């Protein structure tokens, strides 16, 4: 079950200003690629961690502004292929957000930031991906979770998230039936989300949906279902 995302900060990205180690005139391609990935991922983790406690669009723009050198480094160290194109697109959108002081462009990047994190083996907080990452992908439980996530992600306020949940209690009940059979590593997180959603609906109070405990539980479930956001 997803966390309410009143301000959907979807990307955490970038490179630090760390340079790639100097090479000889005939560098080993594998070594060079590994060094670039090391620099890329070290910086990505740095920005992930800097953004962990950011809860507003303005706060996220401030993080990006303070890492302008990292954005330049990202262009130099991005991997080849589709991921590299995604990474460079994130840089362009991040620079636009800083220049316009508006984070809206970053909310239209699909899951590019999650793709970068997955490439680097970390979650959105910069912590290593758990052993259960993507284990539940394609399961009945994750199908229901994805449906709830899609609905709450379209809400533009905490009240909107609560309204969706209240109007789709059958989904919550279906979700709850799968919880007892989940791996112990994720079971308590899923139960936290069920209990909190039902309590919020009963009290007609969206505030419990935005607690840190709920955010952490939501991230754990999303990772279990293969979504690194």
Q: How many CB atoms lie within 10 A of CB 181?
A: 10
CB 130 within 8 A of CB 185: yes
Instruction: Quote the pTM value.
Output: 0.75
CB 14 within 8 A of CB 71: yes
H or E element that contains 201: helix 184-203
Of 1, 73, 91, 89, the residue nearest 37 (C-alpha): 73
CB 229 within 8 A of CB 146: no
128 forms beta bridges with 122
The tens place of each residue's pLDDT in the chain, 229 residues long, gives 333 233 333 333 332 232 333 344 455 666 688 888 988 888 888 888 888 878 788 888 898 899 888 888 878 888 999 999 998 888 888 888 889 988 776 765 556 688 899 999 999 888 999 999 999 999 999 999 999 999 998 888 889 999 999 999 999 999 999 999 999 999 999 999 999 999 999 999 999 998 889 988 999 999 999 999 7
């Amino acid at each position: 079950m997803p966390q309410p995302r009143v301000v959907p900060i979807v990307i955490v990205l970038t490179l630090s200003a760390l340079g790639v180690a100097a090479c000889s005139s005939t560098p080993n391609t594998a070594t060079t690629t590994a060094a670039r990935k090391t620099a890329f991922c070290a910086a990505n983790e740095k920005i992930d961690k800097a953004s962990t406690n950011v809860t507003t669009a303005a706060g996220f723009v401030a993080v990006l502004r303070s890492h302008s050198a990292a954005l330049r480094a990202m262009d130099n160290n991005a991997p080849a292929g589709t991921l590299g194109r995604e990474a460079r697109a994130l840089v362009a959108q991040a620079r636009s957000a800083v220049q316009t002081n508006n984070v809206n462009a970053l909310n239209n990047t699909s899951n590019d930031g999650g793709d970068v994190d997955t490439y680097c083996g970390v979650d959105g907080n910069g912590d290593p991906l758990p052993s259960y990452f993507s284990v539940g992908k394609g399961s009945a439980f994750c199908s229901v979770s994805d449906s709830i996530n899609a609905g709450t992600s379209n809400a533009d306020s905490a009240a909107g998230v609560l309204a969706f949940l209240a109007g789709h209690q059958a989904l919550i009940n279906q979700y709850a039936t799968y919880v007892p059979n989940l791996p112990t590593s994720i079971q308590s997180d899923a139960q936290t989300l069920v209990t909190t959603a039902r309590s919020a609906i009963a009290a007609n109070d969206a505030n419990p949906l935005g607690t840190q405990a709920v955010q952490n539980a939501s991230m754990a479930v999303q990772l279990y279902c293969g979504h690194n956001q």
